[in-house]
A = this chain, B = another copy of it.
Amino acid sequence: MPLRLDSRDADFATAFTALVDARREADEDVSRDVTAILKRVRAEGDAALADYTSRFDRHDLNASGWTVSPAECRAALDSISTQLRDALELAAARITAYHEKQKPQDSDEIDATGVRLGARWRSVDAAGLYVPGGRAAYPSSLLMNAIPAKVAGVSRIAMVTPTPNGDINPLVLAAASIAGIEEIWRVGGAQAVAALAYGTKSIKPVDVITGPGNAWVAEAKRQLYGVVGIDMVAGPSEILVVADAKNDPAWIAADLLSQSEHDPTSQSILFTDDAAFADAVAKAVEQRLPLLSTQAVAATSWANNGAIILVRDFEEAMPLVNRLAAEHLELAVDDPEALFTQVRHAGSVFLGRMTPEAVGDYVAGPNHVLPTGRRARFSSGLSVLDFMKRTSFLSLDQNSIGAIGPAAVALAEAEGLPAHAASVALRLK
């Protein structure tokens, strides 16, 4: 049974704080394993990759191939249905259009003292893209990670993916073909992340690594942060739905279950101002569950991490919504804009009754790689900026260094840095 809270109850504040603070992230002690894997790949390179891939994925890289070729991706694209191909191409076009608008502007100006100053954005040289194998091998994730890198202008994208027993999802290859990915390595896990970060004889190192993965992949990225750039520390998916009684309970139930079905650690939370509607949604969830091929996962997630929170009104809800800082936030009310202006922390917001979160997972355009675990308090969804960096610049002349240089000399001397002071003072007339 999911948690039920009522803001009128005396212990509500305590119970809600417990919900906010609950950690759903895997507590497995993978850290030490990952450290050992990174160390071995760094020391042994390709030989370590071949050994781990043989053991974990039952795929012999040297006998059965290290890579998937663009021709294989193209063949996969040709093999899928027209409906799916059209859907992937619509998704790619809309994701591209949305991300094109994220490209940052350079600046370059001369201020009143004659100092020229500004900033130039450039893409990273190479991005590594992790694509999970098995159940979570999602073509949509590939598009969401590869397209911002392409739009940023990254010239090399190296994709890694585990191919258990040599198998790989043809839809993923079709998506790779659409995204124009030409370098695909049949390695996965922490060892693949290590190879991308450090480089091996076969795999050249990259500058940024993005893409979802299991606890080992996430921990490898965390440990390598600083050696390379990474997208974010990702945790289980979550949705928060704010819905009034005018919604169809079946729709809201489906929305909640669309997160629950991802993983047993996923979380779905409903805020509503109507007790009868809360009951109706709970009932609709129970009715929908047996219809799902993902029933086992969804039922476990809903029972363990689901919550229905009854509030007096949505004015009361919004500060609570901000405390949860959810990855996905649906505002299924008459005037979603009024609530949206009160949102300070959320990964992505879905406005109104006709905007189910799942439409954003696939084809709407905004990125579906979003901060989880309350990290929307301080981080953003994946964007073109994750594949670019800014170089600031300055240019002074005799007049402008005369205008601002003496202050620099004074501060450098006060900070006890005489070479700093000299490098400016020598240039003053």
Contacts and interface: CB of A to CB of B under 8 A. Distances in A.
Nearest to A428: B354
B389 A420 contact: no
Nearest to A393: B349
Contacts of A336: 395
Contact of A390 (B381, B405, B414): B381
Given A251-B426, A347-B391, A414-B84, A408 B365 contact: no
A216 interface: no
A343 B351 CA distance: 43
A407 B282 CA distance: 28
Contacts of A83: 410
Contact of A352 (B91, B380, B397): B397
A412 interface: yes
A35 to B, nearest CB: 10
A365 B139 contact: no
Interface string A345-375: 1111111111111111111111100110001
A148 to B, nearest CB: 12
Interface in A248-262: 248, 250-251, 254-255, 257-258, 260-262
B363 A408 contact: yes
A277 interface: no
Contacts of A379: 229, 389
A165 interface: no
Copies of this chain, complex-wide, total 2
Interface residues of A, number: 121
A54 interface: no
A362 B391 CA distance: 17
Contact of A261 (B84, B125, B294, B420): B420
Contacts of A363: 404, 407-408, 411
A130 to B, nearest CB: 16
Contacts of A405: 359
A376 B391 contact: yes
Given A226-B222, A365-B115, A394 B350 contact: yes
A199 B2 CA distance: 29
Given A365-B117, A396-B352, A419 B258 contact: yes
A161 B138 CA distance: 47
A111 interface: yes
B417 A261 contact: yes
Most chain B CB within a 10 A radius of its CB, from A115, A232, A407: A407
Contacts of A124: 377-378
B354 A116 contact: no
Contacts of A140: 411, 415
A94 interface: yes
Given A294-B416, A354-B396, A391-B347, A426 B90 contact: no
A358 B258 contact: no
A233 interface: yes
Nearest to A208: B378
A146 interface: no
B392 A352 contact: no
A416 B136 CA distance: 9
A204 to B, nearest CB: 13
Nearest to A390: B380
B358 A261 contact: no
Contact of A411 (B84, B125, B222, B228): B84
